[in-house]
Amino acid sequence: MFPDALLDRFAAPIRALPDKKRALTWRLIRIGLALLAGAGTAFAHPPFGVLIGLLGYPLLMILSERSDTVRGAFWMGWLAGFAYFFIGCWWVAEAFFVNPEQAWMAPFAASLLPAGLGLFWGTATALYRRWAPLGAVRVLLFAALFCAAEWLRGHVLTGFPWNPAGATWRAGGGMSQFASVVGVYGLSLITVAATAAFAPLIGPGAKRSRLISTSLGALTLIAVGTFGAIRLAQSDLQFTDTVVRLVQADVKQETKWSPEAYRSIVDRYVALTSQGAARTPNVVVWPEGALPASANDVFASADAQAIAGALRPGQTLLMGLGRGEPDPTAPEGGRYYNSLFALADEGGTGLRVAAVYDKHRLVPFGEYLPLGGIMTKIGLRSLVHMPSDFSAGPTPAPISIPGAPPAQVLICYESLYPGFTPGAAGRPEWIVNASNDAWFGATSGPRQHLNLASYRAIETGLPIARATPTGISAMIDPWGRIVDGQRLDPGVMGVIDAPLPRPTGITPYGRFGDFLFFFSTLTAFILSLWPSIRRSRVRANRAAI
């Protein structure tokens, strides 16, 4: 029995209800199905991996096109988006429990963030309802509008590109490898289009064309998976002579800033840095904001000499610290940056700053307050954990590291963004991802962050050395896979001494960036809307005769 016949059989008892009760029943069913669509697609992502949840995309497409009005379609998309981001981003609330006095804000963070992000989905489904053509070609319009909205979500107001549809596929697996060609947004377009191709099974149109649509969707997924399997089978993982030590001190966020913890934290990092090894590391990587102090204070204290003493001759330490810089033009007479320092030992007399990277993409409400002047006046400055905003660093560029190849630094949230790393001229040989996921405790957040960061390796063909204070620290190869044994899970204190993998050649995505995504999205728009445009022209010409 064809799916639409099954649907008719299910709907028959509801159609027999009185008008008001029938309308209310359908409304509640649509609301429930929209929430189910969003929840399903959220649970398809790692670490859950319930891939049948991808059927939420065709379900959302059906709900949108069967809405009575454009406004109704908007609410279908918004409800689905709310469920998706509530499940995918609930860990944000965990950060507000670190400081008990801020715990009251946790429910607002857990609900307002998905409510805002759901607007992108609602806009996409409303436009789809407004423009949807007849026939299976409407799948292309749905995918193009949805993924265009997702791209905007990753860029508007600095963006929040958490869990795009393409990242449903576990990084390092076969399906993820196509991101080396089209990037994670291109993979999102393919994922949504291929799964939404099942939607025409329920709806108008000839059964043959509806079956063709579904078959093409399935074949697309098979082709992408086959490409990935071949790419992984042909991968030749080789290593450079550079050895990188990743330090995970297991410093919990709730105790990090207590004054009595400072000494033990410094001692812990120093001990892990100086720990013996079969092969002396060339580079030691500490995570973002490793010490509960500013770089200005640390470098001026005796701790600088203790840290320098932990380094062996020729070693370089990459250490994440906040730093202040005088600036008479700034409102408070100075600026504060979230930075990563490349430090070398000055022969036992202290540390020499060989390079510094200042974080460019800042986290809204975490590192700066949007509309900060207004928010401060109405008493909402407490939403930010610093008394003043961080400043954004200059446009990202690779840094030179003594004793190691040049690297692109991505601090925490920056690892969510494709396109930070130069693909041709000035291409580095590896990526350093210094992060602090301690804010999010034992939630899904750190695991999803690792998956998203690993996509940058696939897109660029570069290995990633990832250091966090509480996990997950890892050495990731250019195919997005964690190198065997080179991983420290949450709650583990220790080090990884990992030989640095060699990069692959420049990937198609590294060369062309999001061009293929934009081209494919535009092509999908044209192919889906052209029949409607052509019919409109014919009607206009006939009216003019």
Question: Given 288, 367, 414, 459, which residue is catalytic?
Answer: 288
Residue whose tokens read 């701790």? 303
Q: Quick check: is 89 catalytic?
A: no
Phi and psi (nearest 5°) for 182? -115, 0
Task: Name the token pair of 103.
Answer: 């715990």
Q: Is 260 a catalytic residue?
A: no
Q: For tokens 């809405």, name the residue.
A: 67
* DSSP sequence for 261-321: GHHHHHHHHHHHHH---SS--SEEE--TT-SSSBHHHHHTSTHHHHHHHHSPTT-EEEEEE
Distance CA 89, CA 92 (A): 6
- Cα Rg for the chain, rounded, in angstroms? 26
| Helix H or strand E segment including 484 | strand 482-488
Supply φ then ψ for residue 360, to 5 degrees.
Answer: -95, -45
How many whole angstroms from its chain centre is CA 1?
Answer: 41
Q: Are 451 and 170 in contact (CB under 8 A)?
A: yes
**Which residue is catalytic, options 65, 89, 359, 429?**
359
Edge-to-edge strands, sheet with 334-345 = 351-358, 334-345, 316-326, 283-285, 239-248, 494-501
Please list the residues that pair with 318 across neighbouring strands.
285, 342
Helix (H, G, I), strand (E, B) or coil at 107: helix
**How far is CA 493 from its chain centroid?**
26
Token pair for residue 68? 């009575």
Confirm whether 147 is a catalytic residue: no
Three-class secondary structure of residue 63 per DSSP: helix
Check 94, 412, 414, 459 and give the catalytic one.
Answer: 412
**Counting Cβ atoms within 10 Å, is residue 331 exposed (0-12), middle (13-18) or buried (19+)?**
exposed
Report the alpha-carbon angle 471-475-481, nearest 5: 105
Active site residue ranges: 288, 359, 412
